[in-house]
Each structure stands twice: as C-alpha cells, then as structure tokens.
C-alpha cells in the first residue's frame, strides 16, 4: 500500500505539466557535495550517525528505484523500516543502500561500453561517501539522492511515463499479422487498428465495427507514424504494424534502457556540448545545462548506419573539400568509365597511388578489381555534397557533421539518407554557436567566408564534446513522451544486455543489502 501511494504521488509530481517535465527544463544540483568524476579522490569525510528519521527518509526513497528503471530495493526498504531490528544494523544497511542506489542514479546501473554492472572508481566512491556525510549533517538524504539523477526535464518525463505504465499496467489491443491496410479496406484487422489507435489517443473512441478504412482513420495513422518518425504514408504498412504490436512489457523494457542511457550521458557531458539523437533525427547544442539550439539532421541509411560514439570537436572547415570514400568512389569511377566528361563537369580531381593528379583519360581500367590505385576528391563548390561547412571531431568511424546539397529533404519525417555522416540543417547557424566564444568569428564573418570557395580551417580554442546517441524514447517540449521507430534495430540487443545486468543486480544476494536472516544470525 505504501509503495502504491508513493508511486501515485511521484506520478502527479512528475507529470505536473511543462514546467515539471519540459525537455528544456533543468534543475539545479541540490546535492550536499560536488561529485567530480575522474579526478583525484577527495579525502573521506567522517559519517555522522544515522537518525531514525534519516533511515526512514532513505527507506521511502528506495521504494522509488523501479520508477527510475532500476532494480527493486523494496526488501531493503522494508528492513530499514522494521524497528524490531537493531538500530546499528539498520544504520550500517542504510549506508550501503545509500551508496548503492546513489551510484546507480549518478553513474548508471551498467557500463555504457561493456554493459556489465558498473563499478564506480575510487574517486566516484569518495564522492558518494562525502555526499552522504553532507546529507546526514544537513538532514537531506532524499534530496541528495534526487540530485544524483540526471538534471534534465526529459529524464523526469521518461520517469513519469514509467510511473504511469507501472500504475496502469495497460493492456492494449493487438493487430493480427497480415498484409498492409489502406483506404477502402475492411475486416477485423481494420477494427483492431482502430482500437489500437484509440488506445494511444490518436483516434476517436466511438466507432462501429465493420467500418471501412476511411480518411479519418488514415489521418490517425499518419499522426501515429509522425510521432514515431515512421514515413507518414497513412497506410498501416509492416513497419507501422510492428510498432503498433509492441507490448506494454516491451515498452517498459525500452523505457528502462532509455532512462539508463540518460544516466550514461549525464556522467561527463561537457559544459558546452553537442548531442545527436540518430533515432529522432535531431541535433541539440547545450551550454551550462541549457538547451541552446536544436537542428534537424539526416543520418545514415540502414545499410550504412551511423554509429554511436563520443569524441571532441577540434575544428571546422568552411568550404571543405570532399575526399570520397572507397565505396562511393567506385560507383563514380564506373560512371566516369561510361562518360569520362562527367569528371570535369562535376569538378572531380583524380589521383594515382603516388598522389599525383591525373586526367580521367589516363586511368588504366585494366586495374579495376585488381589493386585499384586511384582515389578522387571534389573541391568546394555548388556540387560538393559537404556543402558550406564540415565539423571535425576525429574518430575511428570517419563520421562527421556537415552541410548538404539536398537541403529540401529536411522537410521529410524519416531522414536516413546519408552514407553514415550526419547532415545538419542550418549549418552556418550551428557554426556560429560553435565559434561564439572565438573573437573574429561572428555570423557576418562566417557567412562572408562561406560565400567564397576557399577552404578555411578554424581551430577551436576549446574542444567541444560531441555525443552521437541512439535513443528511442524521447519527450516533447510539453513533456509528452514519444516512442520512436527502432530505425537500425539496435534496441533488442541493448535491452537484452541491460536486462541481464538488471537480473544480476536483482538477485537474492543483491535485492536486500542485508537480509533479515543475516541480521538475526549476527545477533545469535
């Protein structure tokens, strides 16, 4: 009963409207001690004694663990509230529970690379310990734990959605497998589609069985597809059917992973940084915890999917050359073999193995498929697909952010068109933000240089972290949660790895920090 009341209270608090859950809203850190990761460990402060009030406050906070997508700590919370157990044992249990739950909130349950259970390093453990010491001294145990969680409104929105799913335990209609559905179709599967869309709030409730697939239903399908970044055709195609038939349990697993991914990102994002969400086709520029800019992007096609990684931007190039990668170069060489004049028409430069520029007519086509020694590049200009600017953050994937000549395609909902690089809308505006702290590079200067054809490298005075993410649950500015199409089919593997670690952390030896039996044994 206590847990139910807590969930409902938390849900009402978190779902309180745009001010509570807006994507741009950021809470100030309220921890009693600053946690500085990856620095020299701070000296350990002495821990004040646990009062009964502090133990109770911690126990109530532990009941919240599942709402963060974390393993239940209910058993530990119940033991902490059981005053028949000796105070000294409950105090010791409270310290371990605080450090464990606090570590999960601050650093994540799992390692972002190995997906094994994450073990805080000495510096991180010292930060948690000293935060506990400050909390016990100031009487703010729950407030300190709350401050460990990511300080983004989007995290609170996702957590509110988790609470809603936990409280309602929804059961929604399933659509039987079959062919795609479109205008004019009739039958039980059309009825199932209507019921499913009504369950997610994009279709009216009052409809009659047997009605044909009409324009009203087509509009509802388009709305659903648009929210999930599916191509808004208005037809229930196989991709849409797959999304509609994801179960509530699968959605909760997806939510748990996305909450964990936000905790990973919060570890060391950088004072100024760029985040790209591949699944949402968006780029965000952040400064001092505030969203400064949002841009639409295009990402890699499924056969050339954009990877997830983080690196530091070191410089940008206005009017960049395009060094054409091998696969794309091959297709162009084939075109030049059929029509050599295209090379000059498109402005391509061709080089042999020694780096000497040669004419397209000097290519030895007998070498095709046998140690092909030629490469090509394209100078700045209106035909260069790099456009006016390229942002360089050296990485092993050879993936960067740049302008494009296909700017009209930014109006499309699903934007997986590239060969893995990230094409950004309004790139000169993004360049202005990137260079905003560098003298001599205001908007006028950037536009003046970009208007020419001279390649210009601008080194950043301060490196800028760039985080390429793949998050399939996001929130809008008003706090509404959207489940996105799993464009690259990556969620399944990530969820399986996370659930393995989740189960390990939920085991009988971990579910309770100290079992009742263990305490009783120590008394005998």
Rounded alpha-carbon distances, angstroms, from residue 338 to 43, 206, 328, 334, 360: 72, 61, 16, 7, 11
Q: What is the DSSP letter of 511?
A: H
Q: Where in the chain is the domain with CATH 1.10.101.10?
A: 175-244
pLDDT the model gives residue 29: 32
Residues 6+ apart with CB under 8 A from 91: 49, 50, 55
**HSE (CB half, 13 Å, CA atoms) of 389?**
21
Helix boundaries (H) for 206-365: 215-227, 238-244, 248-265, 326-338, 341-346
Known catalytic residue at 421: yes
Q: What is the DSSP letter of 275?
A: E
pLDDT the model gives residue 17: 39
pLDDT the model gives residue 165: 92
Host H or E run for residue 178: none
CA 508 to chain centre: 31
Tell whether domain 175-244 is in CATH 2.60.120.580. Answer: no
pLDDT the model gives residue 373: 86
Known catalytic residue at 87: no
pLDDT the model gives residue 395: 95
Burial class (CB in 10 A: 0-12, 13-18, 19+), 83: exposed
0.85 cut: is pTM over it?
no
pLDDT the model gives residue 479: 83
Identify the active-site residue in 295, 421, 425, 467: 421
pLDDT tens digits for 310-333? 999 999 999 998 887 766 777 788
Task: Tell me which residues of the chain have a pLDDT lower than 70.
Answer: 1-40, 326-327, 508-524
pLDDT the model gives residue 268: 76
pLDDT the model gives residue 346: 80
Is-contact 232 222, C-beta < 8 A? yes
Say whether 240 sits in a helix, a strand or coil: helix
Identify the active-site residue in 68, 273, 402, 467: 402
User: Taking Cα atoms as reference points, which of 104, 66, 65, 62 lies closest to residue 79?
Assistant: 62
User: Taking Cα atoms as reference points, which of 221, 149, 141, 130 lies closest to residue 183?
Assistant: 221
Phi, psi of 390 (to 5 degrees): -135, 130
């Amino acid at each position: 009963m206590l847990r139910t009341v807590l969930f409902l209270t938390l849900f009402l608090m978190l779902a309180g409207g745009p001010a509570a859950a807006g994507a741009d809203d950021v809470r100030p850190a309220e921890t009693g001690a600053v946690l500085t990761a990856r620095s020299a460990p701070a000296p350990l402060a002495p821990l004040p004694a646990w009062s009964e009030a502090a133990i109770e406050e911690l126990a109530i906070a532990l009941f919240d663990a599942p709402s963060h997508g974390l393993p239940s700590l209910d058993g530990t919370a119940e033991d902490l509230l059981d005053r028949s157990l000796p105070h000294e044992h409950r105090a010791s249990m409270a310290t371990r529970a605080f450090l464990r739950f606090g570590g999960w909130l601050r650093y994540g349950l799992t390692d972002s690379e190995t997906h094994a259970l994450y073990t805080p390093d000495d510096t991180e453990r010292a930060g948690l310990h000293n935060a506990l010491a400050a909390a016990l001294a100031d009487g703010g145990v729950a407030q300190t734990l709350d401050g460990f969680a990511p300080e983004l409104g989007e995290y609170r929105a996702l957590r509110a959605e988790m609470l809603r799913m936990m409280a309602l335990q929804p059961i929604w209609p399933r659509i039987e497998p079959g062919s795609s559905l479109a205008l004019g179709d009739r039958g039980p599967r059309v009825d199932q589609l209507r019921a499913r869309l009504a369950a997610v709030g994009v279709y009216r409730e009052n409809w009659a069985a047997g009605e044909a697939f009409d324009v009203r239903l087509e509009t509802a399908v388009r709305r659903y597809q648009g929210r999930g970044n599916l191509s808004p055709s208005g037809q229930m195609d196989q991709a849409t059917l797959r999304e509609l038939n994801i179960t509530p349990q699968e959605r909760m697993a997806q939510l748990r992973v996305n909450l964990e991914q936000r905790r990973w990102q919060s570890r060391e994002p950088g004072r100024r940084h760029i985040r790209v969400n591949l699944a949402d086709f968006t780029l965000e520029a952040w400064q001092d915890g505030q969203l400064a800019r949002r841009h639409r992007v295009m990402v890699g096609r499924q056969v050339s999917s954009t990877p997830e990684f983080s690196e530091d931007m070191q410089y940008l190039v206005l009017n960049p050359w395009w060094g054409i990668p091998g696969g794309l170069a091959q297709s162009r060489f084939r075109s030049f073999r059929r029509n050599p004049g295209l090379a000059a028409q498109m402005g391509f430069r061709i080089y042999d193995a020694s780096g000497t520029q040669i004419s397209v007519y000097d290519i030895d086509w007998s070498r095709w498929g046998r140690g092909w020694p030629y490469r090509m590049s394209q100078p700045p200009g209106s035909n260069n697909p790099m456009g006016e600017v390229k942002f360089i953050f050296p990485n092993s994937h050879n993936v960067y952010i740049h302008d494009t000549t296909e700017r009209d395609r930014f109006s499309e909902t699903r934007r997986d068109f590239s060969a893995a690089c990230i094409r950004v809308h309004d790139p000169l505006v993004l360049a202005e933000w990137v260079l905003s702290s560098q003298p001599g590079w205001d908007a006028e200067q950037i536009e003046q240089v970009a208007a020419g054809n001279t390649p210009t490298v601008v080194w950043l005075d301060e490196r800028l972290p760039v985080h390429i993410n793949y998050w399939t649950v996001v929130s809008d500015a008003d706090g509404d949660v959207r489940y996105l199409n799993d464009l690259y089919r990556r969620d399944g593997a990530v969820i399986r790895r996370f659930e393995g670690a989740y189960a390990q952390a939920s085991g009988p030896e971990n579910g309770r920090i100290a079992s009742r039996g263990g305490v009783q044994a120590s008394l005998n």
